[in-house]
Every structure is written in C-alpha cells, then in structure tokens.
C-alpha cells in the first residue's frame, strides 16, 4: 500500500488499522435490480438502431444524437459503472486511528475525509462474508429521494461515489466495526 494516507495522520494519534477497499469488479444487492434493468435498457437501444437505424441516420444530426446518448448511457449502466466503481476503489485508502476515521481518495476528484470518532452519530454495518461495508451515516435505499448531490445521485449505479463516508468491502469487517464502536463508546465517556 502506498504511504499516501500516512501523510495525513497527526503526530498525537495512534494508527490502529489501515486498509483498502475490495478490488476489482464488485456486485452488490442492488445489482439484482440494476443488471436486468441495464440489459432491458441496452436491448431497447439495440432495437431502436436495428429496426429504425437507417431511418434515424437519414434524418440527420439531431435525430441521431438522441439514440446515441441513450446508447452511451446503456453501455455505462451495463458495464461501465462496474469498471468505473473498480477504478475509483483502486484509488482509495482507509485508516483508523485512536481519534479519527480517515478516507483518502486519489486520482481525478481527489479528496480527504476525516471523521472524529466521538462525533460519528450513526454507523451501519453490511456484512458480506469475511468482508463488509461500514457506512458512517445513514444509508440510502436504491430508490430513495431527497436532498442529493449530483455525484451522490450516481451512487445508485456506482457505490464508491456516495457522499456518505464508508469503508467499502474491507477484510475482517466485523472485527473492525466492533473496534470502531468501542472507540466511539470510549470517546463519549
């Protein structure tokens, strides 16, 4: 692992754990709906080009643009979102200290997120075998609405884009979750 996240740790805190999210293509529970939807969407685009492709091209520029946009979207929601999510996760590092949770995202759109252990209001744990997701805040359902950023709207398709800080697919997640809960309890005394 790169020493990138080490540069953001304070001299007065003790590093308890550091890790990375699960690498590669990662399917989640939401894919039970997303995969059939994306195949239906992609099939519709293919049907438009197969049945009326010659007529659409003959109509000229504005009429070709609309199905092309839907075609690009179909490729993204079918395959691209999985590759995009894997690429984002390949550029994330996590750390847990005795005082903070630290999440460092590098690459395009780099950012650093730190959470004071004693001020974390809610933690959600989603086990997936020995791995799991630890979400520091409320989780949003697949079809939840409300105040969302543009980036967070894509979290339905690409979970690593969520605005809610989280450790995604970490090893020994249950033990790490219990350790964080213990630190929270200590910090609140």
Taking the C-alpha atoms of residue 52 and residue 46, their distance in angstroms, rounded to an integer, is 10
pLDDT along the chain (189 residues), means of 10: 78 95 90 89 84 71 78 90 94 96 89 94 92 88 52 68 91 96 91
pTM above 0.85, yes or no: no
Check if CATH label 2.30.30 holds for domain 92-187.
Answer: no
HEC string of 73-118? HHHHHHHHHHHHHHHHHCCEEEEEECCEEEEEECCCCCEEEEEEHH
Task: Say what the pLDDT of residue 1 is.
Answer: 41
Task: Say what the pLDDT of residue 49 is.
Answer: 75
Task: Say what the pLDDT of residue 169 is.
Answer: 95
Task: Say what the pLDDT of residue 138 is.
Answer: 81
Task: Say what the pLDDT of residue 68 is.
Answer: 83
Task: Say what the pLDDT of residue 81 is.
Answer: 92
Task: Say what the pLDDT of residue 3 is.
Answer: 64
CA proximity to 18, closest of 33, 7, 29, 32: 7
- What does residue 121 show for φ and ψ, rounded to 5 degrees? -80, -40
Judge residue 8's burial from the number of C-beta atoms within 10 Å of its C-beta, 0-12 exposed, 13-18 middle, 19 or more buried: middle
Size of the chain in residues = 189
């Amino acid at each position: 692992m790169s020493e990138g996240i080490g540069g953001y740790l304070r001299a007065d805190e003790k590093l308890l754990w550091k890790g990375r999210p699960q690498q590669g293509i990662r399917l989640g529970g939401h894919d039970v709906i997303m995969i059939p939807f994306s195949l239906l969407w992609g099939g519709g685009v293919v049907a438009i080009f197969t049945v009326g492709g010659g007529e659409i091209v003959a109509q000229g520029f504005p009429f070709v643009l609309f199905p092309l946009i839907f075609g690009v979207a179909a490729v993204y929601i079918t395959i691209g979102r999985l590759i995009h999510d894997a690429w984002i996760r390949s550029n994330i590092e996590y750390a847990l200290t005795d005082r903070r949770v630290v999440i460092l995202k590098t690459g395009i759109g780099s950012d650093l997120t730190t959470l004071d252990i004693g001020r974390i209001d809610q933690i959600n744990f989603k086990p997936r075998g020995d791995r799991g997701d630890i979400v520091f805040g409320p989780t949003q359902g697949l079809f939840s609405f409300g105040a969302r950023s543009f980036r967070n709207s894509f979290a339905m398709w690409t979970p690593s884009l969520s605005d809610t800080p989280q450790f995604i697919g970490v090893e020994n997640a249950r033990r790490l979750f219990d350790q964080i809960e213990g630190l929270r309890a200590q910090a609140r005394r």
